[in-house]
Amino acid sequence: MFRRFKPYLPYLRPVRGTLAGALTAGIIFGAANGIGVPYIIKHVFPRVFDTNAVPMTTWQIVAIAMELPLVFVVRGLAGYLNTYLIQVAGVRILEAIRLDYFRKLQVLPLSFLQRQTTGDLISRGLADTNQLQTTLTTVANDGMKQPATLLCALGYVLYLASHEKGSALMVACMAIVPLCVFPVRYVGKKLVKRAYQMQAQMGSVTNSLSENLGAAKEVRAFGLEERQAQAFSKETSALIAIQLKVAKYAQALAPSIEIISAFGIAVVFVYAKFAGVTWDSFLAIVGALFMSYDPVKKLGAINNDIKRGEAALDRLEVVFNEPVTIRDPDRPVDFGRARGNISFRDVTFAYKSDEPVLTNVSAEIPAGTVCALVGPSGAGKTTFANLVPRFFDAESGRITIDGVSIRDMRLSDLRRNIALVSQDPMLFNDTVYNNLLLGRLDATPEEVRAAAVQAHADEFIRAFDKGYDTIVGERGARLSGGQRQRLAVARAFLRNAPILILDEATSALDSQSEQMIQDALRKLVVGKTVLIIAHRFSTIRDASMILVFDKGLIVARGNHSELYAGEGLYRTLYDRQRTEAS
């Protein structure tokens, strides 16, 4: 078990002082628990109730009686401090784990994120980290108090047995304790598989909920409310079934240990009678024995928590152990502002090893070129553009900007030279101003507003009651499609990068919004190297270069007139769209 959690011990370093205080309090609690109660039975009660003792005054009796609350005051304060300090440490540890998890997600390649479901990644970052925190705090809490209680109680049994007739009583008292290990091991084995299933199913439930909220309009438009409710019910029912199985095994542990404990006490009872042990000594031994069984029971519960923690850790390690394949080189080339010459040389890329999306692609795109990428769906044009900012790395071949391989640059240097306007721009649930500022975080308010003016966004922004301080909603839900797109164009103006990637920025817009954005884009592309991922050919007739993709190959290149006159695929695609538009 220690080896399993050893890589995560560094999380304990920032809270080692807090844990030391919790450990001290736990030891005091264990001593007060394991020795205090048997001591009261053996030495306090007999002094008051022994009929042969010298009569005592009321104040003497009260003074003796105060030893009882004194033991429990020490026990209670130590237990409180132990639990509180462990919770403090646990919250700090959880914060560190979640932050590291989130940071790892920021640098993992897009190919990894595309293989996962959003809901499951959310569940790993919330539910699994929470379970890991519960495991760490429980182990640190009861892992301190219960062993201390057990050792103190058994030590007191040893002490009492050594002062009574028949010292073998000690052996009889302790012989049953190892038997408690068997139910602990059995339940632990059963919980490992169930706990992992429970965490995985929790991810499925979270993903189902996330998908439903993200498709709220479609659900209502197609009348899918009941269907979605039934699908969610199926997911939650599966989760409940697994949770009940976990509860079945976890809750069976305590009564199993209690039954074994009862047999142990019965053995001690019989042995004590024949050994001639006195009544007060017998009660003290039974009290100490009881205090030793309770920690065993709780240590069994700790074992269950550890199994759940291991299951959560397995799921978190899918992210933590995923290699970061797209990273800065060991010796990066210093790269300032690019001129914008882009070169692809024999580039091959595949999302799956046996299904290449691009095969030996070569292209030279001089600085200042407006280059349109056209072709059927799945031909490789979006992948081609995504390789430039290193969202993915090519399997073979070389991509350079101004003669420098993009693999030799710092990612920050490379991406600082690229601006992106996507078909479905992402806006955060923040103010308009802060969403624009993402284009360049050090921009001044005047520069932000100037970019909005260039993108024809300033007018509608100022029309809002709060202007630039208006919250746009999740993914920009409070804005129209045209408004969201104009904010994305404004971010590109603010970034003022020499390379611009446009993923059909005017598709699915009304004619007025499209006209405004087209006018903004004409100003935006001046002096830049532009890659336009074209889904509608009406946007690329004025491109200075057109690359035609088909089945992962560049099958033709040229301008519109040249390609329409001599390239069959391009002419077919262009005529088909013109016919559909008419």
How does pLDDT run across 443-452, given as a tens digit for each residue? 999 999 999 9
Residue bearing the bigger pLDDT, 97 or 147: 97
Mean local confidence (pLDDT), 37-49: 67
In a domain, 474, yes or no: yes
Q: What's the CA gap between 463 and 510, in Å, rounded?
A: 20
Is pLDDT above 90 for 214? Answer: no
Query: Is the distance from CB of 460 to CB of 471 less than 8 angstroms?
Result: no
Q: What's the CA gap between 143 and 166, in Å, rounded?
A: 33
DSSP helix/strand/coil, 289: helix
In a domain, 297, yes or no: yes
Mean local confidence (pLDDT), 559-576: 81
Q: The tokens of 430 are what?
A: 């923040």
What are the backbone dihedrals phi and psi of residue 427, each rounded to the nearest 5 degrees, phi first?
A: -120, 140
Q: What's the CA gap between 159 and 173, in Å, rounded?
A: 12
Mean local confidence (pLDDT), 312-333: 87
**Do residue 83 and residue 170 come from a single domain?**
yes
DSSP 8-state symbol, 98: H
In a domain, 56, yes or no: yes
**Do residue 417 and residue 291 come from a single domain?**
no
**Do residue 226 and residue 135 come from a single domain?**
yes
**Do residue 399 and residue 524 come from a single domain?**
yes
Those residues with Cβ within 8 angstroms of residue 565's Cβ, 6 or more apart along the chain or in another chain? none
**Do residue 269 and residue 370 come from a single domain?**
no
Residue bearing the bigger pLDDT, 48 or 131: 131
Query: Is the distance from CB of 318 to CB of 117 less than 8 angstroms?
Result: no
**Do residue 153 and residue 230 come from a single domain?**
yes
Q: What's the CA gap between 85 and 26, in Å, rounded?
A: 10
At 164-184, the pLDDT tens digits run: 655 455 455 555 666 666 666
Tell which of 289, 320, 351 closes a domain. Answer: 320
In a domain, 335, yes or no: no
Tell which of 266, 288, 320 closes a domain. Answer: 320
In a domain, 337, yes or no: no
DSSP 8-state symbol, 501: E
Model's pTM, two decimal places? 0.71
AA identity, residue 512: Q
CATH code for the domain in which residue 367 is found: 3.40.50.300
In a domain, 329, yes or no: no
Domain count, the chain: 2
At 385-436, the pLDDT tens digits run: 999 999 889 889 999 999 999 999 999 999 999 998 887 788 888 899 999 9
**Do residue 279 and residue 373 come from a single domain?**
no
Q: What's the CA gap between 405 and 416, in Å, rounded?
A: 15
Residue bearing the bigger pLDDT, 153 or 329: 329
In a domain, 432, yes or no: yes
Q: What is the DSSP string of 519-555?
A: HHHHHHTTTSEEEEE-SSGGGSTT-SEEEEEETTEEE
* Residue 137: closest CA among 305, 310, 320: 305
Tell which of 320, 351, 366 closes a domain. Answer: 320
Are β-strands 355-365 and 499-503 bridged in parallel, bridged antiparallel, or unpaired?
Answer: unpaired
**Do residue 440 and residue 299 come from a single domain?**
no
Per-residue pLDDT, 444: 92
Phi-psi region of 417 (alpha: psi -120 to 50; beta: other; left: phi over 0): alpha
Per-residue pLDDT, 134: 77
**Do residue 59 and residue 119 come from a single domain?**
yes
Query: Is the distance from CB of 31 to CB of 148 less than 8 angstroms?
Result: yes
Per-residue pLDDT, 167: 46
In a domain, 227, yes or no: yes
DSSP helix/strand/coil, 467: helix
CATH code for the domain in which residue 77 is found: 1.20.1560.10
Please give the residue range of the domain that contains residue 127: 2-320
Query: Is the distance from CB of 194 to CB of 76 less than 8 angstroms?
Result: no
* Residue 441: closest CA among 412, 406, 404, 411: 412
Q: What's the CA gap between 499 and 334, in Å, rounded?
A: 18
Are β-strands 553-558 and 545-550 bridged in parallel, bridged antiparallel, or unpaired?
Answer: antiparallel
**Do residue 295 and residue 360 come from a single domain?**
no
* Residue 426: closest CA among 380, 491, 494, 514: 491
Mean pLDDT across the chain = 79
Point out the least confidently predicted range of 30-39, 48-57, 150-159, 426-435. 48-57
**Do residue 316 and residue 277 come from a single domain?**
yes
Residue bearing the bigger pLDDT, 108 or 2: 108
At 370-391, the pLDDT tens digits run: 999 988 888 888 899 999 999 8
**Do residue 289 and residue 358 come from a single domain?**
no
User: What percent of the chain lies above the pLDDT cut of 90?
Assistant: 18
